[in-house]
Amino acid sequence: MINIIRTDSDNNDFITLVKSLDAYLAITDGEDHAFYSQYNKLDKIRHVVILYEDGTPIGCGAIKAYGPDAMEVKRMYVAPEGRNRGIASQILTELEKWAAELGYTRCILETGKRQTEAVALYKKNNYQVTANYGQYEGVENSVCFEKVLK
């Protein structure tokens, strides 16, 4: 049974999932990990989604305000046993729904070019590649996406 909850960054299941995400990113980002890590802190994230399967937390994601009309998607992760089953898309859809409920008109995000599964996920969910924004401007390994919410 699948259950999706809305919570915040103080949730222990979210903290545990993000530790797994950070361990994965330390490998895939290689030398660039320290640069990206500084922008992925857990403090005071008010909008977190966790997906549970049969009571076990298997994936997460979060959104943070980025300007008056945009929410930035952060900390997307699905445990290895949950991959390739549409779980990440379910989490992303819930985050987009929440952003729209809060009055935001678009979602933006950054991922690394080495995260090929993430790039494929965002393209599959109708995100468009956009110019790198903020701290990612000029960063060669970063690819940024945007989606206008309905």
> Which residue in this structure is represented by tokens 């989606």?
147
Distance, in Å, from the CA atom of 79 to the CA atom of 115, rounded to the nearest integer, reads 15
First to last CA, the chain: 28
The reported pLDDT for the residue numbered 33 is 47
What predicted TM-score, i.e. pTM, was given to this entire model?
A: 0.90
Strands 106-112 and 70-78: parallel
For the cut 60, the answer to whether the pLDDT of residue 150 exceeds it is: yes
What are the structural domains of the chain? 2-148 (3.40.630.30)
Query: How confident is the model at residue 91, as a pLDDT?
Result: 98
pLDDT at 37 over 80: no
